[in-house]
Amino acid sequence: MFSIADEPKKQLQLLFFMLSAGLLLYRFNCGLLFSGMYACPLFNPGADWAYWLVHFTGIPSLVQHNAWVGYTLDLSWLIITISCAFNIGGRWLPRLFFLFAVLYFLVFNSFNINHSHKLIVLFIGVIPFMSNSNYERFFNWTRVYLAFIYVSSGIWKLARLNYFDPKHLSQLIAHQTAQFPNNLSDYLVNHSGVSFWLGVLATLCQLAVVVIVFTKKHDVWVLVFLVIFHLGTYFLIHVWFFDMLLFGLFLIPCFQPKSNELVPVEPR
């Protein structure tokens, strides 16, 4: 079967994997890919079966004690990512990308004191491209997961009693920008009332992301909020979460699948 509207999917696939390749290169430059874990002195065994299973294979130990293993994994993952962007290899390469992303998530967090959950975007965002017959279903599930991330974050903020402290956000900004203050951070530190209502507005917007589960009419506004939210998070408290904006690709209207059209099914 052939779809009469396969172009948006190809464009989304190209953009997602090229941005993922850029993210991999950035993390490689920062020494955060597999090769950066060579001779890492810290090791966290993890707390669930997924980590135990990966440690049982001995892969984290190989990466830690053999530099060539890390560089081989880095190069292989980058080649797979670029190949996925141009749909080389059908559905098998996205599945291989998924395995690399899960492995990297578990190995990286094994050598990281604080688990970096933002890396989830790499192996959740690739799932729609792993199947042609279920592409639209997985596409919509990815949107649901995106809503879950931000809504649960908003609920977590509300559940913390100290969040209702009028000086909570201003104190957080003061702590995070102590070494690199700027005019905006100084203003918000000295005007705790403004900081408080800014935090309330950000939390309400996070909770409002749930709208994408029920309709696609407001996707553009949600995407604009996510961009502003992450820019604000970076400049105000110096926390880098731009990786999560890869999920924003699933909110761009021109990439939306159309329910009344067929999705191509490749022979297995």
Does residue 250 share a domain with residue 170? yes
Does residue 246 share a domain with residue 153? yes
Does residue 20 share a domain with residue 74? yes
| pTM for the structure as a whole | 0.84
Does residue 233 share a domain with residue 104? no
Does residue 199 share a domain with residue 155? yes
Chosen domain end from 102, 130, 158: 130
Q: For position 115, what pLDDT does the model report?
A: 64
- 220: domain range? 134-268
User: Which stretches of the chain score pLDDT less than 70?
Assistant: 1-5, 42, 45-47, 89, 113-115, 161-162, 259-268
Chosen domain end from 130, 155, 187: 130
What Cα–Cα distance (Å) separates residue 83 from each residue in 8, 77, 101, 249, 266?
18, 10, 15, 19, 18
Does residue 143 share a domain with residue 233? yes
Q: For position 113, what pLDDT does the model report?
A: 61
Q: For position 263, what pLDDT does the model report?
A: 42
Place of tokens 């079966």: 49
Q: For position 22, what pLDDT does the model report?
A: 94
Chosen domain end from 130, 155, 182: 130
Q: For position 136, what pLDDT does the model report?
A: 92
Place of tokens 């059908």: 90
Counting every residue, how long is the chain? 268
Does residue 239 share a domain with residue 170? yes
**Axis-axis angle for helices 135-159, 192-208 (nearest 10):** 150
Does residue 172 share a domain with residue 85? no
Residues with Cβ within 8 Å of residue 115, at least 6 apart in sequence: 109
Q: For position 262, what pLDDT does the model report?
A: 40
Does residue 126 share a domain with residue 167? no
Q: For position 212, what pLDDT does the model report?
A: 94
pLDDT per residue as tens digits for the range 190-232: 888 898 898 888 888 899 999 999 999 999 999 999 999 888 8
